[in-house]
Amino acid sequence: MTARLCTATLERLPAAVRRPRYDRGAVECGIVHIGPGAFHRVHQAWYAEQWLATDRRWGIAGVSLRSGALRDALAAQDGLYTLAIVDQSQAFEVIGSLREVLVAGDDPAAALQRVARPEARLLTLTVTEKGYCLDVDGRLDLAHPDIRHDLQHPRQPRSAIGYVVEGLRLRRERALPPLPVMSCDNLAGNGHLLSAAVRGLAGAVDPSLAAWIEAEVAFPCTMVDSITPATTPELRARVAAATGLEDAWPVQREAFVQWVVEEHRSVQGPDWAAAGVVVTNDVAGYERAKLRLLNGAHSTLAYAGLLRGHATVGEAMQDGALLALVRELMLEDVAPTLHPVRGLDVPGYVEAVLARFRNPVIRHELAQIAWDGSKKLPVRILGTVRDALAAGRPLDRLCVPLAAWMHFVRRRAAAGEPLVDPLSARLEELARTGTDGRATTDVAAFLALEAVFARDLAASAPFRAALVKAYGRLGAAGAPLT
């Protein structure tokens, strides 16, 4: 029987497997993290591992709002787990920075006490967009069931925002220093959104607390990035073969990893630079580059790749014409819309993105990337289209992902295959009744979707003409992409 990964079995690991080289018993939980899912464990916890080599103050207390699955899986492993780096070659590392996992639903007081302890120096969150309980305008949704509960029972919160508010209240009550609060979710301006949500709930409960939070608590913006495939039985088998130990919940990510943190005078955090974290006063510049370059290229590969018969990103990257389109789109169409950002080498970033897309180990389904196109395309592509129009630059390449999306919607509807999209019902109806296969008719029908195309953009003659041209070309078998 294979032995279980734990403190006692660390010495059995092969020399090639990295493991904690510090005294875990001396580690303080300086970071309290709400939402210790897979991304947190491959990303922030990996960075914390680097700091702990020289500074024992930056261990992590994870707080799961409801599920006890991770706590139970890692309990027999003393909190240790294996991180697999999957790329051209593979590497394995045992992470020890996650010192405990608390389940707020089982013991809310214990979770809150972690925030209110003197050694806590940073409060972070990875709870996905829905975990912030925001309305369509990006403000705290006071009608959300969890927020309504927290308004009535602020000392026993259910939402992540409620835990932040109550944790900060306890620190103020105990005259402890204010705690910086940092979102690590992929939301543009995540610090601003989190700050507004926290102050919104605090103000509804105790205006004086809201005033203290506004005056004393920092909410720096961040950007995070690393592809993190799900844990599978195949991963568990690979980990067991590489380490010789059983791990109940290993995780995996690509080799590329990035964390950008807003510079803030009141954030006395760890030695960010020592672990490779970028500290900048222009997180928005990095976000814009990622959104338009990486995410825009991803959507282009998805819709154009599916039209050309590909199933995965790796397959699409073997298509020379598609690869050329994506590279040129990033360098010739997107790059000119980015303002200079200190520390960001745009051509180097483009090549890094393409290298990530070529990763032979990570299987990214194009059909999955194609989900939610009506929400993604306005922020990934249409902003660049607007800038290109204003500058009088060509739109040929930029219209390819938009036209390909339109074909994707029509083909899914014609085949009776469901669309994963917040506008799925409207899109399916449009495809059935508003299109006939002719470029002018179909493009006009899609441009009437004001939730996707703003009126002024839909009325732009150069944009409409370029889109009709791209749509007609993509509908012809064997036609070039541009």
Q: Which amino acid is at 440?
A: T
pLDDT at 88: 82
Nearest C-alpha neighbor of 481 from the set 414, 410, 396? 396
Give me 99's structure tokens: 């010192």
- Res 478 pLDDT > 80: no
**Closest listed residue to residue 220, CA positions, set 265, 177, 258, 178:** 265
Helix (H, G, I), strand (E, B) or coil at 251: strand
d(CA 330, CA 197): 34
Domain boundaries, the chain: 7-281, 297-474
Contact 406, 434 (CB under 8 A): no
Dihedral sign, Cα of residue 303, residue 305, residue 306, residue 311: negative
Which pLDDT score, from 0 to 100, does residue 45 have? Answer: 98
Task: Please choose, from the candidates 125, 143, 118, the residue with its C-alpha nearest in 3D space to the C-alpha of residue 133.
Answer: 143
Strand partners, 62: 33, 101
Give the H or E element holding residue 172: helix 160-173
Distances (CA, A) of 5 to 10, 50, 93, 233, 334: 7, 20, 12, 17, 46
C-alpha to C-alpha distances, 44 to 33, 109, 161, 309, nearest whole angstrom: 9, 25, 20, 37
309-342 pLDDT tens trace: 999 999 999 999 999 999 999 999 999 999 999 8
CA quadruple 244, 37, 223, 136: dihedral, nearest 10? 160
| Residue 225 Cα distances to 40, 323, 417, angstroms | 11, 22, 31
CATH architecture classification, 297-474: Orthogonal Bundle (1.10)
Per the rule left: phi > 0, alpha: psi between -120 and 50, beta: everything else, 5 is: beta
Residue 144 pLDDT level (bands cut at 50, 70, 90): very high
SS3 of residue 102 by DSSP:
strand
pLDDT in tens, 267-298: 778 999 999 999 999 999 999 999 999 999 99
In CATH terms, the superfamily for domain 7-281 is NAD(P)-binding Rossmann-like Domain (3.40.50.720)
Is the pLDDT score of 80 beyond 90? Answer: yes
